[in-house]
């Protein structure tokens, strides 16, 4: 908040450009990107990052194999199609992760230029095995686009080690900055496969001219750059491995609390996100009323289910600054209160006690 309030600088001011250089390097480290990668932030939300990645790698006739495990995998497939790709979908039951063997089988049947997959499927709370998917893609001569919107900064993400060619994310989730910028990274393997971009605003060459060669392209928000730079600095002060461990610890404590309350998570253990928890709505509970109660009585907002999961889950984020013991315990106590208000039999204090025990462990 203090960074956002700093005096504004022009979009070509030398001090701002120096901060942008530092931001690029910090993003490269956050993505764990290979040498020679171009990491920067698109002006726009995570969807702008998605579209910038696709617009520079997909053109008419590009063969795309799209792994669809939820709402955002479907969106990625749709955007590829809008840019002229011939899209084959690998649809997976919502609430389950992709089996990499299915990717291998699909690529053996028919070649693809690009495989796209969501690492952290925000609509279902599922974590996909993107390292294994990337390996299967590379064995078949394809490159990989990964959506890391809800995982970057909260889950291990190893762009170089896993062989990820292009990735996009956002600033407002695990990175802990306001929305409005979209971190992206293109490995040398993706830069070598660039196509002519139909979008002026999202053209990678023009954006590289601005971020690296100081040529005017658009008026970036200095305030958002300040905030992202500060958030990335905070991540490095905490330590990336420590940050990942913090998100895992609080997810496991929430899972323990939910179990003690007679509730559960949608994905099976081993396929769950730490950052976005898809809580099953118990029978007889009005899920929309519970969300309204959480907001009006406790000032806590949780997401509803999307698509076929509408009315069936709550999407509870523990990411960035909100992945903390304070937020976790407040939520568990608030959820118990709103459930008991609807007549759902929750053992008094069971969730809070289980969470405390898990945090001690």
Domain with CATH 3.90.1150.10 in the chain: 240-360
pLDDT per residue of the chain (361 residues) written in tens, 0 to 9: 999 999 999 999 999 999 999 999 999 999 999 999 999 999 999 999 999 999 999 999 999 999 999 999 999 999 999 999 999 999 999 999 999 999 999 999 999 999 999 999 999 999 999 999 999 999 999 999 999 999 999 999 999 999 999 999 999 999 999 999 999 999 999 999 999 999 999 999 999 999 999 999 999 999 999 999 999 999 999 999 999 999 999 999 999 999 999 999 999 999 999 999 999 999 999 999 999 999 999 999 999 999 999 999 999 999 999 999 999 999 999 999 999 999 999 999 999 999 999 999 7
Instruction: Find how far residue 86's CA is from the centre of its chain.
Output: 25
Cα→Cα distances 316→46, 238, 267, 307, 312, Å: 19, 23, 13, 17, 13
pTM equals: 0.97
CB-count exposure of residue 49 (10 Å: 0-12, 13-18, 19+): buried
| Annotation: CATH topology of 14-238 | 3.40.640
Write the DSSP string, 135-171: HHHHHTT-EEEEE-TTTBTTB---HHHHT--EEE--S
Closest by CA position to 80, among listed 69, 93, 68: 68
Nearest to 229 by CA among 50, 12, 29: 29
Confidence at residue 128, expressed as pLDDT on a 0 to 100 scale: 98
Q: Specify the domain boundaries for CATH 3.40.640.10 within the chain.
A: 14-238
Q: Give yes or no for a contact between 262 and 42, defined as CB atoms under 8 angstroms apart.
A: no
Structure tokens at 265: 């998570």
Q: What class is the 240-360 domain?
A: alpha beta
What pLDDT is stored for residue 299 in this prediction?
97
pLDDT at site 361? 77
């Amino acid at each position: 908040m203090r960074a956002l309030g700093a005096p504004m600088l022009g979009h070509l001011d030398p001090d701002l450009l120096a901060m942008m250089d530092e931001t690029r390097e910090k993003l490269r480290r956050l993505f764990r990107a290979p040498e020679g990668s171009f990491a920067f932030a698109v002006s726009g939300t995570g969807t702008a990052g998605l579209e910038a990645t696709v617009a520079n790698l997909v053109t008419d006739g590009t063969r795309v194999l799209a792994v669809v495990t939820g709402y955002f995998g479907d969106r990625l497939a749709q955007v590829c199609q809008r840019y002229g790709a011939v899209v084959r979908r690998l649809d997976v039951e919502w609430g389950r992760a992709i089996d990499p063997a299915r990717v291998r089988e699909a690529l053996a049947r028919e070649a693809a230029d690009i495989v796209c997959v969501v690492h952290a499927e925000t609509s279902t709370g599922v974590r996909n095995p993107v390292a294994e998917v990337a390996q299967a893609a590379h064995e078949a001569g394809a490159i990989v686009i990964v959506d890391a919107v809800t995982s970057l900064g909260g889950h291990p993400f190893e762009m170089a080690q896993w062989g990820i060619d292009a990735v996009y994310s956002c600033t407002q989730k695990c990175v802990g900055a306001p929305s409005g910028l979209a971190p992206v990274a293109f490995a040398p393997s993706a830069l070598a496969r660039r196509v002519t971009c139909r979008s002026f605003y999202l053209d990678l060459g023009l954006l590289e001219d601005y971020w690296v060669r100081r040529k005017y392209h658009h008026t970036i928000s200095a305030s958002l750059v300040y905030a992202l730079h500060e958030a990335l600095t905070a991540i490095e002060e905490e330590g990336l491995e420590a940050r990942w461990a913090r998100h895992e610890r609080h997810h496991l404590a929430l899972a323990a609390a939910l179990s003690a309350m007679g509730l559960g998570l949608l994905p099976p253990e081993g396929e769950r996100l730490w950052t976005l928890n898809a809580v099953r709505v118990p029978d007889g509970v009005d899920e929309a009323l519970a969300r309204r109660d959480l907001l009006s009585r406790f000032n806590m907002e949780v997401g509803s289910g999307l698509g076929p999961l509408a009315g069936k889950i709550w999407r509870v984020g523990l990411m960035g600054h909100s992945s903390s013991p304070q937020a976790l315990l407040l939520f568990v106590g608030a959820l118990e209160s709103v459930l008991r208000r609807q007549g759902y039999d929750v053992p008094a204090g069971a969730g809070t006690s289980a969470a405390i025990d898990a945090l001690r462990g």
